[in-house]
């Protein structure tokens, strides 16, 4: 078996017996990056997530409940979370740990389907624990802490180290009622188990010396709309830092998050990407080598002026937020024609599928992430079925595909 490292591109030849136990980790022969490969699950095809939405997920038809290891230093919180899982017959708590070190002892013994992990713990904290889990025994991890709200740096660090999802701990202080919180927790853990280890990737992001990289100065010839809903943070963390800022292209992505959370994520990406990443603002000129992030609670369109393209942004617009990416892509197709391009990543629902069709009708191109590598493959699987497009592996391979397409469009 031949495996190419996403970090450096080096070829690694594996013996066919390497996957005899279903999982395998090894160091890249060139850059020493820890790589992991697993056997595809039997139901991991294009329809593995069809119709799945939070709160409506069904457990895999295996006959066995999803096994969970709860890791939290609070006895009270472990009890509450255990009761939440115990109320669903498709879930089973197989163990508890009060710190990361204890969790690392239990995981090889219990082989849980999912680990819920606190961030702030004594002995070994959550972020250190994730690193060890991904090297020693790759397992889907859902970060579960008051520190991992959507705007928190800890959230982005956890996703970078390999967590597949994140949640806040159940609390009466949150806006949602406790019943809704419990339903969300259960559905997200089921999705993490279904996604399995195939979605786990450690993302090595280089800290930029210049906290505000300058744009490349090249006239913007193409704009890529990046569509992603559920799993968007991890998907964008794996893609944006890999993009070439020297291309005559800009990128726009709608996040299913509040403007405040989008702002926090833009700052984090900007600090770890060679290109400039910023939250989009109304009237802002679109520059090459820049990625603009937009909240789903904003309506974004493009305006082609005599001097440059610009962003038109409206707050709290009366549009369907479930099709925000469709709206953006449709606007781009009408304004840019064959200069528009689309990228679809992980997500629930079908936002971006119809818009991708509009881009292709206008002469632009669309690139799809391999559904088997998505936290949820609703969007990409639907696009594959409707348009018959080829798919691309995430991260460096996706960035390379964008680079190649951009060069082709410029010819």
Per-residue pLDDT 10s for the chain (411 aa) are: 445 454 454 555 555 444 444 444 556 666 665 555 443 322 222 222 222 333 333 444 456 899 999 999 999 999 999 999 999 999 999 999 999 999 999 999 999 999 999 988 999 999 999 989 988 888 999 998 766 666 578 888 888 888 888 888 776 555 456 777 888 889 889 988 877 665 565 555 555 555 444 455 677 889 999 998 887 888 898 899 999 999 999 999 999 888 888 898 999 999 989 999 999 999 899 999 999 999 988 888 888 877 788 899 887 655 567 788 999 999 999 999 999 999 999 888 899 999 999 999 999 999 999 988 888 888 999 999 999 999 988 888 899 999 988 888 776
What is the C-alpha to C-alpha distance for residues 243 and 273, in angstroms, rounded to an integer? Answer: 8
Asked if residue 362 lies in contact with residue 337, where contact means CB atoms within 8 angstroms, the answer is: yes
What is the sign, positive or negative, of the torsion defined by CA atoms of 115, 116, 119, 125? negative
- Give 168-183 as a DSSP string: PPP-TTSSS-HHHHHH
From residue 159, alpha-carbon distances to 143, 150, 156 in Å are: 9, 11, 5
Q: What is the pTM of this model?
A: 0.76
What is the C-alpha to C-alpha distance for residues 352 and 47, in angstroms, rounded to an integer? Answer: 18
Q: What are the helix and strand counts (H, E) for the chain?
A: 11, 18
Phi, psi of 29, rounded to the nearest 5 degrees: -65, -20
- Give 99-110 as a DSSP string: SHHHHHHHHHHH
User: What tokens appear for 269 in the block?
Assistant: 């990406």
Q: Which domains does the chain have, with CATH numbers?
A: 2-38 (no CATH), 66-199 (3.40.50.2300), 222-410 (3.40.50.180)
| Burial zone of 61 (CB within 10 Å; 0-12 exposed, 13-18 middle, 19+ buried) | exposed
């Amino acid at each position: 078996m031949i495996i190419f490292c996403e970090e450096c591109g080096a070829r690694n030849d594996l013996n066919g017996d390497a996957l005899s136990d279903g999982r395998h980790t090894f160091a890249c022969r060139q850059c020493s990056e820890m790589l992991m490969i697993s056997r595809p699950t039997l139901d991991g095809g294009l329809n593995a997530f069809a119709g799945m939405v939070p709160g409506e997920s069904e457990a895999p038809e295996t006959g066995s409940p999803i096994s969970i290891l709860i890791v939290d230093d609070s006895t009270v919180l472990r009890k509450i979370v255990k009761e939440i899982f115990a109320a669903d017959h498709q879930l089973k708590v197989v163990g508890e740990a009060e710190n990361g070190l204890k969790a690392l002892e239990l995981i090889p013994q219990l082989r849980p389907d999912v680990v819920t992990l606190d961030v702030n713990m004594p002995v070994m904290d959550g972020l250190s624990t994730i690193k060890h889990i991904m090297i020693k025994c790759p397992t889907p991890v859902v970060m579960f802490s008051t520190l991992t709200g959507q705007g928190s740096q800890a959230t982005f660090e956890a996703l970078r180290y390999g967590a597949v999802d994140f949640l806040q701990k159940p609390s009466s202080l949150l806006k949602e009622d406790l019943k809704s919180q419990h339903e969300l927790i259960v559905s997200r853990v089921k999705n993490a188990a279904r996604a399995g280890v195939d979605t786990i990737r450690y993302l090595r992001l280089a800290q930029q010396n210049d906290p505000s990289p300058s744009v490349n100065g090249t006239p913007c010839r193409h704009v890529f709309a990046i569509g992603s809903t559920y799993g968007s943070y991890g998907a964008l963390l794996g893609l944006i830092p890999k993009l070439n800022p020297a291309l005559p292209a800009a990128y726009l992505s709608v996040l299913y998050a509040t403007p405040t959370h989008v702002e926090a994520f833009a700052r984090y990406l900007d600090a770890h990407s060679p290109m400039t990443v910023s939250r989009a603002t109304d009237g802002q000129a679109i520059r090459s080598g820049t990625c603009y992030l937009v909240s789903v609670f904003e309506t974004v369109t493009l305006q082609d002026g005599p001097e440059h393209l610009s962003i038109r942004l409206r707050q709290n617009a009366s549009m369907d937020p479930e099709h925000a990416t469709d709206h953006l892509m449709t606007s781009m197709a009408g304004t840019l024609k064959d200069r528009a391009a689309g990228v679809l990543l992980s997500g629930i629902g079908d936002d971006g599928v119809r818009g991708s069709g509009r881009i292709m009708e206008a002469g632009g191109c669309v690139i799809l992430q391999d559904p088997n590598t998505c936290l949820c493959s609703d969007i990409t699987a639907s696009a594959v079925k409707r348009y018959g497009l080829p798919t691309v592996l995430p991260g460096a391979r996706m960035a390379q595909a964008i680079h190649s397409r951009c060069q082709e469009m410029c010819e």
